[in-house]
Chains A and B, each alone.
Chain A
Amino acid sequence: SQQGEEDPQALSIQEGENATMNCSYKTSINNLQWYRQNSGRGLVHLILIRSNEREKHSGRLRVTLDTSKKSSSLLITASRAADTASYFCATVSYSSNTGKLIFGQGTTLQVKP
């Protein structure tokens, strides 16, 4: 079953603007990850945040995690047309020893040039 719920389902912005995507989950987690998928391709890992971390940065990406609210957000700053893709959050259960990820349904981001 899908644990992550993402919001919004679709987002359209102009180049240079910031894009924020949110993810909620249901159970205790070991870590939460964000992936990007370009149209018709496989997923690419972007960033991982552990359950004891609150914020993490990687280039133009900023991820926050609020375990009390069971939610995370992904912020892409100064967006570019090349950021157009679908973005998925995925969680690893706290009790997992198999590496099984549970994916959200994704947010489709369109960045207009």
Chain B
Amino acid sequence: DVKVTQSSRYLVKRTGEKVFLECVQDMDHENMFWYRQDPGLGLRLIYFSYDVKMKEKGDIPEGYSVSREKKERFSLILESASTNQTSMYLCASGQGAHTYEQYFGPGTRLTVT
């Protein structure tokens, strides 16, 4: 079975802190994605990566950056956390070709105080 793991299930940070959310997948997938999920807004794509060191902005990249140094690991970075970044963060991975089915991690619920 495909496994996507995220570094934390729950995280509480203070405004202005630098926050790292890490995601690891074990299926050698080319594509990896970071979403945030908020009530009434659904899932919104923050960034995605289709290869090591390659990244593209999603729909809401402002305030975030990403890093993909190894194929299996995709990190989301909040350079200076703000209260409006309080959200559920979901990581996903997927094979590049054919179906584009995505496999999701369990999510990290981040609270910025």
On A, residues with C-beta under 8 Å from B are: 1-2, 30-31, 33, 35, 40-45, 48, 88, 90, 92, 96, 98-101, 103-106
Most B CB atoms within 10 A — which of A45, A48, A90, A99? A99
A-binding residues in B (CB < 8 A): 4, 31, 33, 35, 40-45, 48, 50, 56, 58-59, 88, 90, 92, 94-96, 99-107, 109
Could you tell me if A43 and B90 are in contact, using CB atoms closer than 8 angstroms?
Answer: yes
Q: Can you offer 21 A-B residue contacts whose CB atoms are under 8 A?
A: A40-B109, A42-B92, A42-B104, A42-B105, A43-B43, A44-B104, A45-B101, A45-B103, A48-B101, A92-B100, A98-B50, A98-B56, A99-B31, A99-B95, A99-B96, A99-B100, A101-B33, A101-B45, A103-B35, A103-B42, A105-B40
| CA A45 to CA B106, docked complex, whole Å | 13
Of B42, B99, B107, which is within 8 A of A104 by CB? B42
Are A88 and B104 closer than 8 Å at their CB atoms? no
The chain A residue with its CB closest to the CB of B56 is A98
Q: Which of B50, B104, B106 contacts A99 (CB 8 A)?
A: B50
B57 → A minimal CB distance (Å): 11
Q: How many angstroms from the CA of A31 to the CA of B96 in the assembled complex?
A: 14
